[in-house]
Structure formats: structure tokens, C-alpha cells
């Protein structure tokens, strides 16, 4: 099981890196679009749509699973933290099974949207035509990734292991000194 988890984490990391790339492109594209508009009275064609349709969707969906891995989807912990470890594990398993179910349907519908857009050659039309499947595809990838992550965590909990071995690490700038 741990081996499988390690393998899956590698896959998860690839998508996390894509998500980071989307973040950096978003910063650069939006800034340069504004500069170009101001200095040369010329908006970068497609900057707005690319940020909205591709970068935002990829940024969020591709990292959902990683955020789940490090227990980053926050919760109200007033009662939860008082539960004994065993109860926490049981409660978490129930949560994660339900969440995996919801993610399954989100992924399934996203997959349908992607295939439909691909088959029918759907685009957001304008000066350049932006294919819609590239916008939709991050939903099934992201939803199925977090679904698998949730299932792995449930199995880990059931066999008595930690579901979130890596907790969130926070930045303290002292780390760099």
C-alpha cells in the first residue's frame, strides 16, 4: 500500500508542477497584458480568456489532490481535535468516502464535457479560437486524482496508518536564513 501511495504521489507531483507553471504564467500574462495595453494601446489577444479558461481551471483542479494529501482542505476542528485518534480515523474515512463519491461524479461529468468538446471541435471563438477541451480536461484529471487520493487515504486509515503523513509546512522566512 505504501508503495502504491509513493507511486501515486509521484504522479500527483507532476500535476502540482503544472499547477505552479499555470500560476507563474498567470502572473506574467496578466502583468504584460496591462503593460502592453497601457504603453502600446494594445491588449494581448487572448490573455483574458487564457487566464480564465485555462490557467485558473488548471491551477485549481490539478492541485486539489495535493492539497488533500497535506490535509490542506480546512475544517472546523473544535470537536474533531477532541476525538480519540481511532474515532478521528473512522470519521475521516466516512468523510473521504463521501467526498470521493462526489469527486467521481464531478470527474465523470467533466470527462463527458471534455470528450464532447473534443469530438465536436468546440471553441471559444474570437480573434483566436481557443479549444474548449483544453479548458475542460483539467476537471476530470483533477477530480479523478483527488478521488484516488481520497481512496488511498481511506485504505491507509482502515489498515491503521496515517492518512496525512506529510502535514502542511508553513513558511517562516527564518527557514531561509
Partner 1 sequence: GDSDNANGKSETIKLKIADSLPTTNYLSSEGTVFFMERVEELTDGKVEFEHYPAEQIGKANSYLDLTLSKTIDIGYTSYSTDRLPLTEVATLPGAYSSAEEGSKIIWQLMKDYLTEEEYLKNGVRPLYAVALPQYQYVTAKKPIKSMKDIKGTKARVTGTMELGFDALGASPVFMPATEAYTAMERGTVDGVTFPFTSFEAYQIESIANYSTKGANLGSFTVVYSINEDVYKSLPEDVKEALAQAGDETVEHLSKFLDKKNEELAEKFASEIEIYELNDEESAEWDQALEPVWDRWAEDLEKRGFKAKETVQKYREIQESLQ
Partner 2 sequence: MTVAIPLILLALFLAIGMPIAFALGISGSIGLLLFSGWDSFLGILSTAPYDSVKSFLLSAIPMFILMAAFMTVSGIMKDLFEAAYKWLGRLPGGLGIATIFAGAMMAAVSGSSQASAAAMSKAVAPQMRKFKYNTAFTMGVISMAGTLAVMIPPSIILILYGILTETGVGSLLIAGVVPGILTALGYIITIFIWVKLKPEIAPKIEIKPTLSERFASLKNVWPMLVIIIAVIGGIYSGIVTATEAGAMGAFITLVVVLLMGRMNMKKFGVALNDTIKSTTMIMTIIVGAHIFSYFLTMTQSTQKVVMMINELDISRYWILAIIILVYLILGFFMDQIAILILTLPLTFPIIMALGFNPVWFGIIITKTVEIGLVTPPVGMNVFVATGAAGVKTSEGFKGVTWFVIMDLLILLLLILLPFLTLWLPGMMIK
Give the Cα separation of 150 and 144 in Å (integer).
10
Q: Which of 13, 37, 72, 167 binds partner 1 (CB under 8 A)?
A: 37
Q: Which of 12, 46, 89, 135 binds partner 2 (CB under 8 A)?
A: 135
Give the Cα separation of 108 and 130 in Å (integer).
23
144 binds partner 2 (CB under 8 A): no
Contacted by 129, from partner 1, partner 2, none: CB < 5 to 8 Å by type: partner 1
The length of the chain is 177
Residue 33 Cβ, how far from partner 1 at the closest point, in Å? Answer: 9
14 binds partner 2 (CB under 8 A): no
Longest dimension (CA), the chain: 63
Near partner 1 in 46-65, by CB under 8 A? 48-49
Strand, helix or coil for residue 137: coil
57 binds partner 2 (CB under 8 A): yes
Angle at 176 between CA 170 and CA 177, to 5 degrees: 130
Contacted by 18, from partner 2, partner 1, none: CB < 5 to 8 Å by type: none
Residue 139 is placed in which grid cell? 476537471
Binding segment (CB under 8 A) for partner 1, from list 41-49, 70-78, 85-93, 140-148: 41-49
Pattern 103-122, binding to partner 1, x per CB under 8 A? Answer: --------------x--xxx
C-alpha dihedral sign at 97, 98, 99, 100 = positive
Q: Among 67, 54, 149, which residue's Cα sits nearest to residue 107?
A: 149
43 binds partner 2 (CB under 8 A): no
Number of Cβ atoms within 10 Å of the Cβ of 100 = 20
Binding site for partner 1 (CB under 8 A): 37, 41-43, 48-49, 117, 120-127, 129, 132
Amino acid at each position: 500500500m505504501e508503495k502504491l501511495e509513493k507511486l501515486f504521489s509521484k504522479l500527483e507531483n507532476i500535476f502540482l508542477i503544472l499547477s505552479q507553471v499555470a500560476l507563474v504564467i498567470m502572473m506574467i500574462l496578466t502583468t504584460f497584458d496591462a503593460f502592453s495595453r497601457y504603453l502600446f494601446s494594445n491588449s494581448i489577444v487572448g490573455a483574458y480568456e487564457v487566464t480564465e479558461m485555462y490557467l485558473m481551471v488548471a491551477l485549481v483542479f490539478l492541485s486539489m489532490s495535493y492539497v488533500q494529501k497535506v490535509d490542506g482542505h480546512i475544517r472546523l476542528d473544535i470537536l474533531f481535535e477532541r476525538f480519540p485518534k481511532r474515532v478521528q480515523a473512522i470519521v475521516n474515512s466516512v468523510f473521504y468516502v463521501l467526498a470521493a463519491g462526489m469527486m467521481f461524479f464531478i470527474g465523470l461529468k467533466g470527462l463527458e464535457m471534455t470528450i464532447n468538446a473534443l469530438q465536436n471541435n468546440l471553441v471559444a471563438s474570437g480573434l483566436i479560437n481557443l479549444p474548449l477541451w483544453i479548458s475542460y480536461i483539467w476537471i476530470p484529471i483533477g477530480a479523478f486524482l483527488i478521488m484516488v487520493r481520497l481512496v488511498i487515504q481511506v485504505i491507509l486509515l482502515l489498515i491503521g496508518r496515517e492518512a496525512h503523513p506529510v502535514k502542511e509546512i508553513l513558511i517562516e522566512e527564518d527557514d531561509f536564513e
